[in-house]
Amino acid sequence: MTAAVTGIGLLTPVGRGAAEVFHALCVGKSGLSLPPEGHPAAASVDVGGFVPNVDPRTVVPGPAATVVDKTVVLALLTAADALADAGIEVGRDVDPHRVGVIVGGVGGMAMLETQVLARGGRGRTAVSPYLLTGVLPNMPAARIAITHGIRGYSSSHGTACASGAQSIADGLRLIRSGDADVVVCGASEAPLFPTFADTFGNARALARRWADPTAASRPFDTRRNGFVLAEGAGMLVLERVEHANARGAAAYADVTGWGATTDAHHPTTPRPDGAGAVECMRRALASAGLTPGDIGYVNAHGTSTKLGDIAETAALAGVFGADGPPLSSTKALTGHMLGTSGVVEAAASALAVAHGVLPPTYNLDEVDPACPGAHIRTSPLEREIEHALSNSFGFGGQNVSLVLSKASTDRKRNG
């Protein structure tokens, strides 16, 4: 059984919404910039992927709005966009008990940092009684459920940079098991605050010393020297195909397979041979009932780190051989939105399948000889494909791969 993608909600450094984001990824519109003047992370990152600030009071009712993390705000906005894009009103178009919500991410650590500093400066009375409901990792999913009256399965994932993709995988599992007709799934991340950015900076994981911030993220390129930390949120509405057909809904694509493995190797470093990622991709193909030759495009995890890019291309060769399918990493433009990246990249893969247009890896001026592959460079590749693979690999050795395929609903979308 597959799950139709009938709604997409995205808020990223390159734009908002499926059409705007996919256009940016194809034409090379970068979302990377110097930190805005006065931004809390200005002293911690040379370059970042920023989204506009949103007044929490516009999406969170009551006094809790004063102590709610940006992750919650972004999740609420993109969930609303995704449901509207799908044309779904919970309770009108679907039984609330047959709707699930799964949202990944590290949680509201920026707000926690703010409250810890407030307590240190003004004492215990400075700590808000609303702090927990502002920062707990399950709050994006909980707030979405409360706002839209979703009464089915609800969960959150904290599997680092794989958490958004894992949310989608679990959404497919819910639909396949018959436990839901509709699942809102995705991730929300707001990591651009001092302590979180400093830990990456002190580990020398972040891109540095780039006069042009738009050139800083360069997956698979010989000059890459780290990833660009970015914020954003993404939500997909997955829907049982029969349910979508019954209400006359159109789909961008189907999620047809998933795979998940653990490297069991190191907290931050991937297995050099990519063995865990190889098994993950093979499981995703088996879940979709496909062979490696069926995949027409790979949206790589491709963060622009030395070891990560090498390990992933080794894994791709282990699955597809030396002459694998066209591949690219859209993080060259968005930066690395941690768990959200997997959702945005799954959406990009779905749109690539729908449009017959495969976005390139920008900034890939000279391919690292240690990262061989059929890299799409300079401009989009126009090619009709039936299936795409999207990879997400996180700290702790968390691997998730998703297969996106041509929509099987009666009605298709390509915009």
Catalytic annotation on 161? yes
Place of tokens 């799950």: 3
Beta bridge partners of 235: 9, 186
DSSP 8-state secondary structure symbol assigned to residue 153? -
d(CA 194, CA 113): 9
CB 76 within 8 Å of CB 60: yes
For the chain, give the number of residues. Answer: 415
d(CA 66, CA 126): 13
Catalytic annotation on 23? no
d(CA 386, CA 309): 26
CA dist 135 to 163, 257, 298, Å? 17, 32, 34
Which position among 26, 157, 161, 280 bears the catalytic label? 161
Counting Cβ atoms within 10 Å, is residue 178 exposed (0-12), middle (13-18) or buried (19+)?
A: exposed
d(CA 324, CA 202): 36
Of 19, 20, 26, 9, the residue nearest 328 (C-alpha): 26
d(CA 247, CA 350): 21
Which position among 148, 243, 336, 387 bears the catalytic label? 336
Which position among 148, 157, 243, 301 bears the catalytic label? 301
CB 141 within 8 Å of CB 339: no
Render the burial of 31-57: b for 16+ CB within 10 Å, e for the rest: bbbebeeebebbebbbbbbbbeeeebe
d(CA 68, CA 48): 22
Of 328, 310, 332, the residue nearest 216 (C-alpha): 332
Q: What are 345's two structure tokens?
A: 């990249």
Catalytic annotation on 157? no
Of 78, 408, 83, the residue nearest 252 (C-alpha): 408
State the maximum Cα–Cα separation within the chain, in Å, rounded to a whole number.
63
Active-site residue set: 161, 301, 336
